[in-house]
Amino acid sequence: MQRKPFTIAMIGECMIELQERSDGAITMTFGGDTFNTAAYMARLGEEIGPFVSYVSAIGDDPYSDAMAKFWRDQGVADDLVLRRPGKRPGLYIIKLEPSGERHFFYWRSDAAVRECFECEGSDDLLAALGRFSAIYVSGISIAVLKPASRERLFVRLAELAAGGTAIHFDCNYRPLLWENKETTRALYERLFGFAASILVTVEELEVMGTDLAHAAEYFKRFPQAEVVVKDGAKPCTLIVGGAVSTVPAETVAQVVDTTAAGDSFSAAYILGRTLGLAPEEAARRAHTTAAAVVRHRGAIIPKAATPKVFSAAETVTASA
């Protein structure tokens, strides 16, 4: 069977992002975990041509229009984004600490994306996922969906995985979005059962009732998946085929903003593995990408500041 050219659908929610500056002024842009990953993957693999699509729902207001244009400007296709009359995007404010750590404050209870897979147009949207060779989804993606939308998406993802589509899952756990850890764990483990790769932080392992020392044993239950345990500025841990290895992170002298560090890491790692790099090499390049992101404010850093971690010769194979 001929391999599909690499195309990936990123499922999730992009929001209006407000940042509070030190002088009290507020700046506006757009961000969200899966969109951040989409934008960085499109940049890192730009020689492939258009290969990243965003899957979501937004409103019919001027801010939704501006958001969709922002996606296109980042090289991310918006043809699979539903427009829902009378709805609006969600919104969040980032408050930064002097250390570069951030705190998020959200307004998203009636966001358009919450009924993405049960509203008008969702049948066609779910069917269209079959044209991609890979799909990326996060814990936030599934947390913001209403139960009916979530169930329809899970059934479709399992069907696609059985047919050979690579499902990549970044746990991205946000406690405020979940009723309890038991519900979260059950849904995560359902996804783990058909995921090709699982990206999780050291802190998120606790949601699964394990820790770094016991992670390899825990993930034996999902032998088809390779696992990346992210740990901020510390080495990441790879669990691939039962083997465990670590890859040191790059040292950053001055961290400005950690927003989207993990998202950019995921983009580089998944692209690297898709291009045929060994897990350790993919992780090294992912660390390089994340190290650049934390040196700048905001989720999406200037394009010129994004490191070129993949050569044209490496990326051209993905479009074949």
Known catalytic residues are 263
Strand partners, 239: 227, 244
Q: What are phi and psi of 167, to 5 degrees?
A: -105, 120
Residues in the chain: 320
- Residue pair 165/133 in contact (Cβ under 8 Å)? The answer is yes
Neighbours of 101 (CB within 10 A): 12
The three-class DSSP label of residue 82 is strand
Helix (H, G, I), strand (E, B) or coil at 170: strand
Q: Kind and range of the H or E element at 19? A: strand 15-20
User: ∠ CA 144-121-137 to the nearest 5 degrees?
Assistant: 35
| Residue owning tokens 């329809």 | 152
CA 314 to chain CA mean position, Å: 22
Q: Can you tell me whether residue 207 is helix, strand or coil? A: helix
Is residue 168 within 8 A of residue 135, CB to CB? The reply is yes
**Residue at token pair 């801010």:** 63
Please check whether residue 176 is in contact with residue 142, taking contact to mean a CB–CB distance below 8 angstroms. Answer: no
DSSP string for residues in 26-51: EEEEEE-HHHHHHHHHHHHTGGG-S-
> Could you tell me the sign of the dihedral formed by the alpha carbons of 282, 318, 78, 161, in that order?
negative
* Residues near 317 by beta carbon (within 8 Å), at least 6 away in sequence: 275, 276
